[in-house]
């Protein structure tokens, strides 16, 4: 579970990060997710997509003293605590695909606009990653990495869906002291999954699995203590 050491190359600046994300979409990856992937017939799961939106924070100095530049960030939100599934979790913008969506890219963008109010004209989709089954909510989800060419204001548009929208520096997520795992039981199986603890927030579940696997595959991850366990924040609310 612990990430591999970063390469000897200099830290990845924003523009180079975009190129590496494009290359990742082109070559793909295996999720190897410690999730109950085999408990449901995949054909019975509903298609969904999420926008994994990276950009550059204007107010953060572009230092390169780690595996990525300090101003590289990713857009996340906190789901409303009243939702029927994944309540209160930190997540990517996204949701179930509709019949009118022309594939997962269009669906992820539509959902992101509805949830955060971002300007889709400033978003460059970079491709897609392999879909991942999320049996807890009975969805099969396609992550859509994207690049924020012209950042716009974001806000939680509908508080019945999400209560907060924010941008987290990727360097903070990669900080070894901010890496951990969560442990949960489903049926008679116990699962261990990656987690991130940044600024009093806990990122876990599907979102953390996607980020952790992407960071490993991109060569951005630094060694971290996979024995550090944090409690899921939906159990402490």
List, for residues 155-168, the tens digit of each pLDDT value. 888 766 778 899 99
- pTM equals 0.87
**What would the two tokens of residue 30 be?**
């295996």
CATH of domain 14-173: 3.90.79.10
Percent of the chain at pLDDT exceeding 90: 59
Triad 183, 188, 190: Cα angle to 5°: 15
pLDDT score, position 3: 46
Percent of the chain at pLDDT exceeding 70: 80
Band (32; pLDDT cuts 50, 70, 90) = confident
**What would the two tokens of residue 94 be?**
């996204």
Which residues, other chains included, contact 215 with Cβ-Cβ below 8 Å and sequence gap of 6+?
3, 173, 174, 221
Does pLDDT of 194 surpass 90?
Answer: yes
* Alpha helical stretches, state H, 34-163: 104-116
Band (231; pLDDT cuts 50, 70, 90) = confident
pLDDT score, position 63: 63
**What would the two tokens of residue 171 be?**
């360097």
Q: How many CA atoms lie within 13 A of 7 on its CB side?
A: 11
pLDDT score, position 82: 55
* Of 197 and 137, the one with more pLDDT: 197
Cα separation, 134 vs 163, in Å, equals 22
Name the helix (H) or strand (E) containing 189.
Answer: strand 189-198
pLDDT score, position 10: 46
* Of 136 and 235, the one with more pLDDT: 136
44-53, 204-213, 227-236: lowest mean pLDDT where? Answer: 227-236
Cα separation, 165 vs 4, in Å, equals 30
Mean pLDDT of the chain: 84
Does pLDDT of 4 surpass 90?
Answer: no
pLDDT score, position 6: 42
Q: What pairing do the DSSP bridges indicate for beta strands 46-56 and 72-79?
A: antiparallel
Does pLDDT of 117 surpass 90?
Answer: yes
* Of 40 and 14, the one with more pLDDT: 14
Does pLDDT of 205 surpass 50?
Answer: yes
Which residues, other chains included, contact 55 with Cβ-Cβ below 8 Å and sequence gap of 6+?
14, 72, 73, 74, 75, 147, 148, 151, 167
């Amino acid at each position: 579970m612990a990430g591999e050491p970063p390469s000897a190359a200099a830290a990845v600046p924003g523009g180079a990060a975009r190129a590496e994300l494009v290359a990742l979409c082109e070559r793909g990856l295996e999720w190897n997710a410690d999730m109950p992937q085999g408990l449901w017939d995949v054909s019975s799961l509903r298609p969904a997509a999420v926008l994994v939106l990276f950009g550059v924070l204007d107010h953060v100095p572009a230092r390169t003293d780690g595996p990525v530049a300090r101003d590289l960030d990713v857009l996340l939100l906190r789901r409303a605590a009243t939702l029927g599934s994944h309540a209160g979790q930190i997540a990517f913008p996204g949701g179930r695909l509709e019949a009118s969506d022309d594939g997962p890219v269009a669906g992820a963008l539509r959902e992101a606009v509805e949830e955060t109010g971002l300007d889709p004209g400033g978003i460059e989709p970079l491709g897609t990653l392999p879909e991942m089954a999320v049996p807890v909510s009975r969805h099969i989800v396609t992550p859509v990495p994207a690049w924020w060419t012209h950042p716009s204001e974001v806000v939680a548009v509908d508080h019945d869906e999400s209560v907060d929208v924010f941008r987290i520096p990727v360097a903070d997520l990669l900080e070894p002291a901010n890496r951990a795992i969560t442990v949960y039981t489903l049926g008679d199986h116990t699962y261990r999954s990656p987690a991130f603890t940044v600024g009093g927030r806990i990122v876990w579940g599907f979102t953390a699995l996607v980020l952790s696997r992407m960071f490993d595959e991109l060569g951005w991850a630094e060694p971290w203590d996979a024995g550090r366990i944090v409690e899921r924040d939906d159990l402490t609310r």
